[in-house]
Amino acid sequence: MTPSQQDCAVVLGGSIAGLLAARVLTETHSEVVIVDRDPLGPGTGARRGTPQARHLHGLLARGHDLLEELFPGLTVELVEEGAPVGDMLANARVCIGGYRFRQGTSGLTAVCVSRPVLEAAIRRRVLAHPRIRPLGGRDVVGLATALDRRRVVGAKVIRRADGSAEERLDADLVVDATGRGSRLPVWLEAAGYGSPARERLDVRVGYSSRRYRLDRGVLGDDLVVLSAPTPDRPRGGALSLIEGGVCLVTLMGVLGDHPPTDPIGFERFSDDLALSDVSEVLRDAQPLDEPVGYRYPSSVRTRYDRLDRFPEGLVVLGDAACTLNPIYGQGMTVAALEAVALRRHLTDGGPQWARGYRRELGRISGRAWEMAKNADLSFPQVPGRRTAATRAFGRYVTRLQAGAVRDAHLGAAFLRVTSMVDPPGALLRPGTVARAMASRGAVTGVDAMRAGSRG
């Protein structure tokens, strides 16, 4: 049965995924309670529950479109807070696969904003809704189920400040948006539902980030510089102008080749990227803080969509279902896609709405997972199965990336896929294939970076 306006929903987790879930639940529930371990206030600082928040976050174009759909005028609000906005290819220096893409108009919006400021803007919108009740400073310790355990009827929490007695929050729907640390597999097994299968990809990614002040005009009209890691050079880095006239620099390394967090080591690491623009910008930049590190050992996909039995009154969303290599910036966009899917299934209703949502959850996370996995498996040291089809597609993508050195249309086509606006199959459209095959695909990565220029 479709939830009515008299129902209460409890969202476990107040990060972006949880906030987006709460936003869509206001359309179908009379009260929505958001539970989080951190205080749910109006501040724009990095929360303890988001240790990755001090690093560069890419809001993919599809994610931007969905956020604007859920929160009309959000982009204008972010611009008013100082976030630069431009075109994802015309205003960015992009080097992927060792090839520097020719700059040109892509039609993809790049909103250059820090994670704390973006999350705070979303949180303000959500908490302003009269049906939302924030409940910060709580640890979630379990689910409450009916006697027959066929339905989840609430969540069990305790206050962090005083470790008080367990409190039960009754709900007609519980959403697990607690992130990669979700305990849902353990709770499901304890309730007799079995443990869901998991897929794991060990990538051993490490980050270090630092904020700088740049001299005016150093980047010209550009807002972003990206030098992605490659199998031959597993070090990468990116910088972006963000609000407040600050430049946020994040260096990254895969397979354990992690950037240091001491200032000298940080800048030396930037000298070893495929694209020299990052280190060149840093030479005359003014540091504003010390480098801070972050480690991401493995991507994990939990296959809730394959469980034969699943309790009613419970759904899962975001990193609690699938954590993705953060190098590709898919997380926020996947969470937005899942929130919109949840809204659609709740609104359409029917006795099997939750089953339909879980299937779509599997499709959404699966598409992002396959894109990230194929990119990760291009590194020979990453364990995993490589098929003849994926190897052939990888060779074609390399040819397309080489062609993007001189053809901005190819670069835009590639970015439309990685931004989750187009499906991966869009790269095989006849016109795109023809342009890729006609390009001078034999050009080397080094020559390609010399050739790359503004279109």
* Packed helices 388-403 and 353-376: angle between N→C axes, nearest 10 degrees: 70
Mean pLDDT by 10 residues, the chain (455 residues): 64 97 96 94 64 84 96 96 96 97 97 95 96 94 93 93 84 96 94 93 95 94 96 95 95 95 96 94 94 95 95 96 95 97 91 93 96 94 91 94 97 97 96 90 45 45
**Whole-number pLDDT of residue 200:** 95
Distance, CA of 292 to CA of 263 (rounded, Å):
10
Structural domain 8-52+119-197+303-369, CATH architecture: 3-Layer(bba) Sandwich (3.50)
List CB contacts of 271: < 8 A, sequence separation 6 or more.
279
Options 1.10.3720.10, 3.30.9.10, 3.40.50.2000, 3.40.1350.10; CATH of 61-114+200-297: 3.30.9.10
Whole-model pTM: value is 0.93
Structure tokens at 332: 């926020």
Q: Could you tell me the residue ranges of all domains in the chain?
A: 8-52+119-197+303-369, 61-114+200-297, 388-451
**Whole-number pLDDT of residue 280:** 95
Q: Where are the beta strands (DSSP E) in 125-234?
A: 132-135, 138-145, 152-159, 167-170, 173-176, 198-213, 224-227
List CB contacts of 283: < 8 A, sequence separation 6 or more.
none
**Whole-number pLDDT of residue 366:** 96
Q: Where are the alpha helices (DSSP H) in 259-352?
A: 263-270, 277-283, 331-348
**Whole-number pLDDT of residue 47:** 59
**Whole-number pLDDT of residue 451:** 41
Residue 204 burial class via C-beta count within 10 angstroms: exposed 0-12, middle 13-18, buried 19 and up: middle
Distance, CA of 251 to CA of 207 (rounded, Å):
6
**Whole-number pLDDT of residue 340:** 98
Q: Are strands 85-87 and 198-213 parallel, antiparallel or unpaired?
A: unpaired
**Whole-number pLDDT of residue 305:** 95
